[in-house]
Amino acid sequence: MSQLSYPQPEGVAAGNGYSHVVTGPGRWVAIAGQVALDAAGEIVGVGDPEAQARQVFANLAACLEAAGASFTDVVKLNFYVTDIAVLPAVRVARDQYVDTANPPASTAVQVVGLFKPELLLEVEAYAVVPD
């Protein structure tokens, strides 16, 4: 069971699909930015933001599991997208993994490009796992 809390800061507008603050006790886990590469290193969903987002979140889930964590432990997601217009597709994938009633803190940034031009997004995660 998660020991995370979601304080609501006074004077700050409510987040749309994210929390401003997430805190909790435990061990810190940092997951490197994940892109839409499958286990063989092949790009999944060229030109398809939904397919890429699904692969990215599957990769994040696998990384979290390797660290003894899950999405219930995630306190922060950072999204890097080549076009801000892909965010609705990213949110659909994200919402299959996170608690939408208590979502992690998040940042979304549009970038000029990622390390392969076919990639549309990269997502990194930070989690706190109970000791």
pLDDT of residue 2: 72
pLDDT of residue 17: 87
Extract the residue ranges of the chain whose pLDDT is less than 70: 1
Residue with tokens 């006790």: 25
pLDDT of residue 107: 97
Kindly provide the b/e burial profile for residues 36-56, where b requires at least 16 CB atoms within 10 angstroms of the residue's own CB: bbeeeeebbbeeebebbbbbb
pLDDT of residue 70: 96
Tell me the whole-structure pTM to 2 decimals. Answer: 0.91
pLDDT of residue 24: 85
